[in-house]
Amino acid sequence: MTIATTARSIGLDLPRHPSRLVPTVVAVLVGAVVLVAAAGLPIPWGDLGALPGQIWHYLVLMFADPNWDMLPQALFETWRSISMAWIGAIGCVIVSIPLGMLAARNVGPVWLRLPLRGVFAVIRAVPEVIIALLLLTVTGLTPFTGALALAIAGIGTQAKWVYETVESVQEGASEAVRAAGGSTAEVTRWALWPAAAPSLLSFALYRFEINIRTSAVLGLVGAGGIGSMLANYTNFREWDTVGMLLIVVVLATMLMDAVSGAIRRRIMRGPRARATATRQERIHVAGTR
User: For residue range 249-265, what is the model confidence (pLDDT) as tens digits?
Assistant: 889 888 888 888 888 88
The band of 277, judged by pLDDT with boundaries at 50, 70 and 90, is: very low
| Domain at 70-288: CATH architecture | Orthogonal Bundle (1.10)
CA distance 123 to 120: 5
Return the domain boundaries, the chain.
70-288
The band of 171, judged by pLDDT with boundaries at 50, 70 and 90, is: confident
- Tell me how many helices (H) and strands (E) the chain has: 13, 0
CA distance 256 to 144: 21
Sign of the Cα pseudo-torsion (121, 205, 214, 221, in order): positive
The pTM for the full model equals 0.73
- CB 158 within 8 Å of CB 179: no
CA distance 206 to 163: 16
What confidence score (pLDDT) does residue 96 get?
92
Query: Phi first, then psi: what are they for 105, rounded to 5°?
Result: -65, -30
Give Rg (Cα) of the chain.
Answer: 27
Residue with more model confidence, 73 or 45:
73
The band of 20, judged by pLDDT with boundaries at 50, 70 and 90, is: confident
